[in-house]
């Protein structure tokens, strides 16, 4: 018996098999506003309902961040309570101007009117914020790398009206879009959708959420299938790539429609890309100042949700739904997640 025990001790021990479960988490940026457009703060993880492909996903945390130092100070004074969230580190904003190459009258007049009120889109920019400017007419054009200089931003906005080939802008300190974009690739971006893909891909390795303000007149193509009742706007075939590139870069699109018209068909495409990325659509035709004020309030802060992915999901593209269990809450969050 003793010999058998010695023999067993001398034999190599077989490793014990242990079941290991890897829990994957998804980061979702969510902005929650009231019906009046003001940010709703103080929400906890339990207040959010998140579904991935229709299946309930656990919300591990919901961290609120004030992205606007000015609005944070106003809120602290109004409530008499110092906000526990960390101070603003500045926002990354990308202005993209869709300049009509054909010089359509309603589009050209609308863009010129928006630029005349350019201060409405700059007065709320804070010292820590950084803005990059692009334009698109026949292809994507890079006019200004990230900067907080309002004079440079205003000049680039006005120059976006031109049909020209601007020089490559001076590279900004980190983060720099100029360091992530390849100059020869921009002329190849011969559609607005390809331009959005290039911008989204360039922002993938830049941490944190970004806001792309699309000043434009439309996305998609108006088609008729034979009868007036069948007319509709079709999104481009590469729209799924557009959506995934923006989602991977944590980019929310805010579509600001400057068309000088009450309504037009291509507005639905601008609404679609805003809804899919966690932004909103607004027209400047009648109330341009209201659109700028709404954007300012919406970008005051955001929640960063850490969501536990249901284990049964396969890898690939998924649909995300984010809700808040409050009647007066309006949630802006991306609608897709690409699990690579």
| Total-model pTM | 0.89
Residue 159 near residue 113, CB atoms below 8 Å: no
CA 324 to chain centre: 20
Percent share of the chain, pLDDT over 90: 73
* Beta bridge mates, 210: 251
Instruction: Let me know if domain 92-298 sits in CATH 3.40.50.410.
Output: yes
**How far is 284 from 202, CA to CA, in rounded Å?**
29
Domain residue spans of the chain: 25-88+302-339, 92-298
Spell 266-292 as b/e; 16+ CB within 10 A means b.
bbbbbbbbbbbbbbbbbbbbeebeebb
Q: pLDDT digits over 256-282, tens only?
A: 999 999 888 899 999 999 999 999 999
Pairing state between β 251-257 and 281-283: parallel
Tokens of 4: 């058998």
**How far is 237 from 178, CA to CA, in rounded Å?**
28
Average pLDDT for 132-141? 97
pLDDT > 90? residue 143: yes
For residue 1, the model assigns a pLDDT of 45
Instruction: List the single range of 61-75, 81-95, 184-198 with lowest mean pLDDT.
Output: 81-95
Residue 121 near residue 97, CB atoms below 8 Å: no
Q: pLDDT digits over 18-65, tens only?
A: 444 455 789 999 999 998 889 999 999 999 999 999 999 999 999 999
């Amino acid at each position: 018996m003793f010999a058998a025990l010695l023999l067993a001790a001398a034999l190599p021990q077989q490793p014990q098999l242990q079941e290991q479960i890897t829990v994957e988490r998804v980061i979702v940026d969510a902005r929650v506003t009231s019906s009046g457009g003001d940010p709703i703060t103080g929400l906890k993880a339990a207040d959010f309902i998140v579904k991935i492909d229709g299946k309930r996903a656990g919300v591990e945390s919901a961290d609120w961040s004030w992205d606007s130092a000015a609005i944070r100070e106003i809120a602290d004074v109004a409530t008499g309570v110092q906000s526990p969230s960390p101070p603003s580190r500045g926002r990354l904003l990308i202005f993209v101007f869709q300049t009509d190459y054909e010089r359509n009258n309603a589009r050209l007049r609308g863009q010129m009117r928006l630029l005349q009120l350019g201060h409405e889109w700059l007065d709320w920019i804070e010292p820590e914020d950084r803005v990059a400017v692009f334009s698109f007419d026949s292809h994507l054009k890079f006019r200004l790398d990230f900067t907080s200089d309002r004079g440079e931003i205003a000049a680039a906005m006005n120059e976006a009206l031109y049909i020209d080939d601007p020089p490559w802008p001076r590279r900004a300190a980190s983060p720099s879009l100029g360091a992530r974009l390849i100059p020869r690739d921009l002329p190849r971006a011969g559609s607005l959708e390809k331009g959005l893909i290039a911008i989204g891909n360039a922002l993938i390795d830049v941490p944190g959420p970004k806001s792309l303000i699309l000043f434009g007149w439309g996305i998609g193509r108006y088609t008729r299938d034979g009868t007036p009742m069948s007319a509709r706007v079709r999104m481009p075939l590469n729209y799924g790539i557009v959506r995934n590139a923006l989602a991977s870069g944590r980019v929310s699109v805010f579509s600001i429609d400057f068309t000088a018209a009450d309504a037009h068909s291509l507005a639905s495409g601008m609404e679609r890309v805003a809804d899919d990325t966690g932004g909103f659509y607004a027209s400047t035709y009648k109330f341009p100042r209201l659109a700028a004020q709404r954007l300012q309030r919406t970008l005051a802060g955001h929640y960063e949700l850490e969501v536990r992915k249901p284990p049964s999901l396969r890898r690939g593209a998924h649909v995300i739904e984010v809700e808040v269990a409050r009647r007066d809450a309006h949630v802006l969050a991306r609608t897709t997640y690409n699990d690579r």
